[in-house]
Each structure stands twice: as C-alpha cells, then as structure tokens.
Amino acid sequence: MKLATVFSGIGAPEWAFKRLGIPYESLLACDNGEAVVSYDLKQEKETISKMASFAEVQKYVTDLYVKKARRNKHNYVQDSYLANYPDFDEHRYFQDAKLLPGSFFKDQVDLFVGGSPCQSFSVVGAQEGFGDDRGNLFFEYLRLVKEIRPKVFIYENVNGLREPGNKDVWSTMTKAFSDSGYAIAMKEPLNAKDYGIPQIRNRIFVIGFLDPKYKEAFKKPAPIALPYKMQDFLISSTEDGGMTFDPKTGALLFSKKPGVVGDSFNLTPLVSKYVLAPGTKNWKTHIETDRPIARTLLSTMGNHHRAGVDNYVRFEYDHTVPIRALTTREVLRLMGFTDDFKIAVPKPQVYKQAGNSMVVDVIMALLKAIIATGVFEPEIKASIVQ
C-alpha cells in the first residue's frame, strides 16, 4: 500500500494501518504545525515550478519556514510524527500544503488522506467558512487530489459543515468533490462511539474512487456495539499524571447553574487559562456567563469538540469528589492511539495534537470498507476479508 497524507497531524491513518497489521509505505506527510509564515504565494509557486525534484522543493520550503516562522518556530507535530513512524523518510515530510506540488506523486499513491483545518467550520468557532484562510485549505486538498490522482481519497472534517451556518460552504464543497473526476461513494458523518471508542465525536468523511466501478462495491462501515466505557481508558486517579483540581484550593469552583444541561462548572480564570483550548471562547454555552464553562461531564464524554485540554473527568457523580483534566495518555487512548504511541513533545502539545487528530478506530473501519471493494491488490483484500 502506498499512502500519502496532508494535514497529517500525528498520523491517524498510519496508526490505523499499524493496528490492522497491513504493510504500507508512506510516500508523503505534510503539516506545518502551528508555524505562521507570510510569503507571496504566486511568487513562491513560480519559484518552485522551476525545480526538478521533490527533494529540492522540500528543502526549499523547509528553509523558508525556518527563516520566516514568526511563532512556534519548532514544528512539534513533526516531532511527534517522526518519533512514531521511524521508517518514514524525514525528507518526505513537507511543511506547507499550499506550496506542495502534487505532480511529483502522480499515479504513485493508492490512498490519499487529509482533513483540512476545521476551525472555520466548527460550531465551537466563529464559522467564518471560506472567509477564514484555514477554510480555504480545502481547495488545496482538492488540488492535490487532482494532481496526485490516488486510487482512493479520504477527506475528513467537522460535522458542523452541515450546520445551517455552513450551508453554502458545504454546497460548494460537495459540488467541488462531484466535479473532481472522482466517484464519490460516501459523504456522511461517522461517530467514534459507533466504532469502538467511547467518545461522541461526529465527523464527516468523504470517500472518492478514481475508478467508478469501486463506488458501487463500497459499503459504509456498519456500527458496532460499543465494547467499552470511558472509564476503561482512564489511568487511576492515584497514579502519577492524574491531574486533580481540589475544590479546597479554590482552583475550581463547583457551582451548578440553573438551566444547564448536564453537570457544568465555572472555572476560575487561572484554571480556565490552563485547561481551555484556544478558540473555546467562541463555544456556544447554555447560559450567558462572564466565565468559561467546562464541558459537560458525562461518562461517554458528551458532545465534546476535542479529546484534549477542554475535557474533564471524575470517577463519581459527587460534588465532593475532585475533578481533573484527562492525562495526555488518556486523550491519546480516547483517539485510538495505543500505549506504544510515543509522547515526544511537551504536554500542551500532546493535548493539541490529540484533539486535532482523526479517531484511529474510525479510520480502521473505513480502511476495511475500502479494501473490501477490491480497489487495491488482491493480497491486501485477503488480509482484511478473512
């Protein structure tokens, strides 16, 4: 299997192949972390178009980021990726999808996977859609699909794309997929809780086949009975790493508000600054308040936006029991990354990276469904259909 990913994050598709035991070769990974680089896109593309090899382009863009990054110069996402996929050639790691020439990989890729940044479409954000530069990265993904011509692509984004506020955006995206030259077999949400992970995390997945005959053979993965509770993924509160906020310290204020669905709590400014993810200020709470509201505390994790710093847990529904943030290992587990996933970056970066990832178990279910169509080599299908 020849795999290529963009907006690669910590490699959910790669980890899905690993867990399924399917040999694969990763030809390309691309993620700039959170480095902000300003440049003349047209000029840089013209410069890159004159380069004869991908290696030359990769070095040029890497140098561009090293020289011009204004904040978070260090690419922590790249650190996590390279630490966990040691067979991957780091010279195939690319920093910027906008500058990536897909032509170097034309007709070489079996599966192309990417989920362009979701913040501009998410219901927890301002829903600026294509008015946000991050939203426009969708068109870079589609450009790469057309240039690379993989046998199959998987595109992922938040279910908020189907919300009324994004109606025109979703209409534009679905038309763009239809006009891409690919047979679209699926453009529906899949929920992590239906594929083995005790987390309500609904995401839209679009599946496209270059050869239209495989569209008819594709069957949406059937939901499975949830075998676990969230508590099965947790480290004991007495073990190291279980961060606890004791109400006696004043760090956390327990105060149930009338009209709030579920158990919600006010956080002091100090705690909210530490545990609430960037962008949470736009989250639509049930009530108006001058303080952030912690996510609802449900055994299934509720309708959480991300498995990261804005999620909390306690072991009993009792206001006298301390509440704590999920640990880094717990958030990775709740995204489908087994404990052999190496934590190679600072704790705040792990939370961000896990929260931005796709759920590995959902990708596994999609991979099985795609492979079952026979679109890849017969021995690959035989490894799944046993």
Q: Which residues are catalytic?
A: 118
Q: Which of 106, 205, 190 is nearest to 154 (CA)?
A: 205
Pairing of strands 183-191, 202-209: antiparallel
Pairing of strands 2-6, 93-94: unpaired
Amino acid at 351: Y
SS (H, E, C) the chain: CEEEEECCCCCHHHHHHHHHCCCCEEEEEECCCCCCCCCCHHHHHHHHHCCCCHHHHHHHHHHHHHHHCCCCCCCHHHHHHHHHCCCCCHHHEECCHHHCCHHHHCCCCCEEEECCCCCCCCCCCCCCHHHCCCCCHHHHHHHHHHHHCCCEEEEEEEHHHHCHHHHHHHHHHHHHHHCCCCEEEEEEEEEHHHCCCCCCCEEEEEEEECCCHHHHHCCCCCCCCCCCCHHHHCCCCCCCCCCCECHHHCCECCCCCCCCCCCCCEECHHHHHHHCCCCHHHCCCCCCCCCCECCCCCCCCCCCCCCCCCCEECCCCCCCCCEEECCHHHHHHCCCCCCCCCCCCCHHHHHHHHHHCCCHHHHHHHHHHHHCCCCCCHHHHHHHCC
Residues 6+ apart with CB under 8 A from 377: none
